[in-house]
Amino acid sequence: MNIILLGPPGAGKGTQAHRLVASRQMVQLSTGDMLRAARKSGTEMGKKVAAIMDAGELVTDEIVIGLIEEQLTTTTAPGGFIFDGFPRTLAQADALGDLLDKVGQSLGTVIEMRVDDDALVSRITGRFTCGDCGEGYHDTAKPPAREGACDNCGGHNFKRRADDNEESLKVRLMAYYRETSPLIGYYYAKGKLQSVDGLASMDEVSASITGAMDRA
């Protein structure tokens, strides 16, 4: 089943996508991760988007639709795709529908992760990841079991994102409410929307998401 995880920055989309990859053999398609990889490898496109991402603004529809098209036409996902951070605009949502049709696939469900804005600040400013394996952590909600060492790979190379600060978060939230939140109505009207409480514990959110997928 192909699903979209929809929610503001810090809602827990990436955290839950990683869990679904492990438990359901799904493939995570995160446009944020793809754009960060392009930056890191120094491609022309990566250089073009760096400042936009650091400021918390959205990169162009053309770029992200191109990234998703490339993945959908070259990757197989026996357990289905998880769209994480895509679509983020109505144009991207229309494009995703067309792309899925083109590759003979469909959308199972869209899961809106509901959280309140106050919680997002602490989630975003406390977040860090293992630079070696990508495992995600949080200063208080999910610190590594052994301080300074990744639970997953034992690495010591932790990283914080350049856009994980309060100033950039305000811009990211504004972009979410202006450009992305209309997708809630868009997918509701298509009969695809389900909502979960993103403020619950990580395990409870996982259970709500798998329940929503099983009902779809």
DSSP calls for 39-106: HHHT-HHHHHHHHHHHHTPPPPHHHHHHHHHHHHHH---TT-EEEES---SHHHHHHHHHHHHHTT--
**Of 115-144, which residues contact ligand AP5 (CB under 6 A)?**
123, 126-127, 136, 138, 141-142
Counting contacts by CB under 6 A, is residue 86 touching ligand AP5?
yes
| Per annotation, catalytic residue among 13, 19, 36, 39 | 13
Residue type, 185: G
Give the number of C-alpha atoms closer than 13 A to the C-alpha of residue 206, restricted to the C-beta side.
Answer: 14
Q: Does 172 bind ligand AP5 (CB under 6 A)?
A: yes
**32 contacts ligand AP5 (rule: CB under 6 A):** yes
Please say if 40 is a catalytic residue.
Answer: no
Options 3, 26, 29, 59; binder of ligand AP5; rule CB under 6 A:
59
Is 160 considered catalytic here? yes
Q: How many residues bind ligand AP5 (CB under 6 A)?
A: 34
Residue, CB closest to ligand AP5? 32
Q: Are 64 and 31 in contact (CB under 8 A)?
A: yes
Verify whether residue 190 is a known catalytic residue.
no
Judged by CB under 6 A, does residue 88 bind ligand AP5?
yes
Whether residue 61 contacts residue 91, with contact meaning beta carbons closer than 8 Å, is answered with yes
Smallest CA-to-CA distance from 193 within 133, 101, 92, 113 is with 113
Q: How far apart are CA 89 and CA 95, in angstroms?
A: 10
Cis amide prior to 87 (ω within 30 degrees) = yes
Choose, from 19, 36, 88, 123, the residue flagged as catalytic: 88
Which one among 6, 20, 26, 35 touches ligand AP5, defined by CB under 6 A?
35
Window of 27-35, 37-45, 94-102, 182-190 that interacts with ligand AP5 by CB under 6 A: 27-35
Nearest to 29 by CA among 71, 91, 78: 71
Please report how close the Cβ of residue 118 comes to ligand AP5 at its closest, in angstroms. Answer: 13
Using CB under 6 A, pick the residue from 7, 28, 183, 208 that binds ligand AP5.
7
Distances in Å between the alpha carbon of 9 and those of 95, 99, 191, 201? 22, 25, 24, 17
Q: What are the residue numbers of the active site?
A: 13, 88, 127, 160, 172
Give the interface with ligand AP5 as residue ranges (CB under 6 A): 7, 9-15, 31-32, 35, 52-53, 56-59, 64, 85-86, 88, 92, 123, 126-127, 136, 138, 141-142, 163, 172, 201-202, 205
